Amino acid sequence: MVPSTLQYLDRAKPEPSSAVQAEAWLPEYWYGRFLGLGNKGLDGCIDYTNLDYGTSLHFATVGSNNGHNGNDGIAFLNELEVLADFSFRAVHLESVIGKQIVEAYYGRPHDKAYFLGCSMGGRQGTQSALMYPEDFDGIVAGAPATNFNFFEGWAAMLGQRIGAPDPTGNDSFIPPELWDVVAAEVLRQCDGQDGVEDGIITEPDECRFRPEAILCVPGQESGCLSIFQINALNEIYRPLFGRNGEFLYSRYDPGAEADGGAQQWFSGSIDPFIADWYRFAVLSDPAYSFENFSLDTIMLGDTLNPGIIGTVNGDFSFVAYGGRKFLTYHGRMDQVIPSGNSKEMYNNIARTLSMPSLDDFYRLFLVPGMNHCMGGPGATAFGQSGIASNVMNSSSYNVLLAMVDWVESGISPDVIIGTGSAGQTRMHCRYPQKSVWDGSTFSCEA
């Protein structure tokens, strides 16, 4: 914890059946900036890592439990107000009440307000921009779980492709050791497409992975896959479509399966994050087994849209014309949320606002070699979460500081420079620019 920082705990009850608990960390040396924080997964956990991080950069920082305690979905069962807190209201209360606390403590109001979150926190930041654009001047929203209802359905379908909820005796199940075979073949086919073989696929959307290359031949008993497993892979590496062929959700990024965390979706069971959402928020059936899970279940979840959680509206008018700024980033090896989803959101906003470029107010940075929110073999630290990610205290190397420069000085971030675990750096490009290898380094080209 940063020395000389006041910690303040508060509890708000927006409705009789709901309550939001939050902490404000207030640094001794304050530069007039307010920072609200997001959450992860189904978390009802205050983000202490980023409370520490925010105050280390002299932000008055507030994080909440998102309206419930714990990291499961039990609190959502038949509780519409708790769902509303989780979906959008807790972050709004962070902003409203947090700013009141800040003003009371420092004796003056804040100058500028910012938001920092990734994954579910990225979705919260996006929802905040859509529903309460006046809450934050600048939002940093990483790997956002937007299009949430179809994301949940897509993730459940990934498990179902290989036998979930119970893979016992299912010919399509792919055990962990065979995922290593799949990952190696994906790299063999696609790693060199960017001009350098470094274990990183710069543009997964250009990887047309052909799993048939590792189909077992007669007499081969290891290091290969059966026709049933190959068929499952072909389904995994294609988008989710509706019954009439309509696009619902982006495909799994080739290359992301190389991370061990990919087993969240490919273990042969339905991940608790997905299971709890359907059991407690969508179906109100704690005993639901997923044996009959189908596209109909997914469409029901989208129709119900619990807590208005979908976060798929492309109308960013109040951000675009209100002088506010939005920065998002997404790893191209994200084993949880495919990076194509962030491209879809960008293009959705462009279509909705009839804007070919969103550069004036919205920037998406795609990060080759990065897993979900952080980590991976690439240059994946750029100030996005926790003190450890702030390798260099400079806006070129830190997305939060880049947002401050954009909001307060009008200096828009053209690129973000990431740093890897071995000290290597790489320039990350804003969409729709491309990261291009020139024989010695990567640069950004339109």
- Mean pLDDT across the stretch 17-33? 93
Mean pLDDT of the chain: 95
In one letter, which amino acid is 205? D
Nearest-angstrom CA–CA distance, 272 and 278 = 10
**Range with the poorest average pLDDT among 55-69, 257-271, 392-406, 416-430:** 257-271
User: pLDDT class for 9, splitting at 50, 70, 90?
Assistant: low
Instruction: Give the list of residues 6+ apart from residue 204 with CB closer than 8 angstroms, or none.
Output: 190, 253, 254, 255, 256, 332, 339, 340
Query: What is the spatial distance between Cα 129 and Cα 212, in angstroms, rounded to a whole number?
Result: 44
Contacting residues for 323 by C-beta, under 8 A, at least 6 apart:
137
CA–CA distance, 278 with 257 (Å, rounded to integer): 25
Q: What percent of the chain has pLDDT over 90?
A: 93
Euclidean distance between the first and final Cα of the chain, in Å? 42
Q: DSSP alpha helices (H): ranges in 40-111?
A: 48-56, 80-84, 90-106
Classify residue 433 as exposed, middle or buried by CB count within 10 Å of its CB (0-12, 13-18, 19+).
middle
**CA 338, CA 371: separation in Å to the nearest integer?**
10
Catalytically annotated residue among 92, 110, 372, 428: 372
pLDDT of res. 344: 98
User: Which candidate in 56, 87, 119, 342 is catalytic?
Assistant: 119
Q: What does the DSSP 8-state code read for residue 387? A: G
Does 110 participate in catalysis according to the annotation? Answer: no
What is the C-alpha separation between 5 and 423, in angstroms, rounded? 31
Note the pTM of the prediction, 2 decimals: 0.95
* Torsions phi, psi for 38 (to 5 deg): -95, -170
* pLDDT band of 261, cuts 50, 70, 90: confident
pLDDT tens digits along 203-235:
999 999 999 999 999 999 899 999 999 999 999
Residue 58 annotated among the catalytic residues of the structure: no
| Element spanning 26, H or E | strand 20-27
Record the tokens describing residue 372, joined without a space.
Answer: 């979900």
Q: State the average pLDDT over residues 271-283.
A: 97
**Active-site option among 95, 128, 334, 435:** 334
As a whole number of angstroms, the distance between CA 208 and CA 220 comes to: 25
With cut-offs at 50, 70 and 90, classify the pLDDT of residue 44.
confident
Closest alpha carbon to 162 in 264, 250, 258: 264
pLDDT in tens, 118-169: 999 999 999 999 999 999 999 999 999 999 999 999 999 999 999 999 999 9
pLDDT band at 11 (very low <50, low <70, confident <90, very high): low
- 428 has which bridge partners? 416
- Rounded CA separation 13/288 (Å): 31
Active site residue 372: yes
| Contact of 229 with 123, CB cutoff 8 Å | no
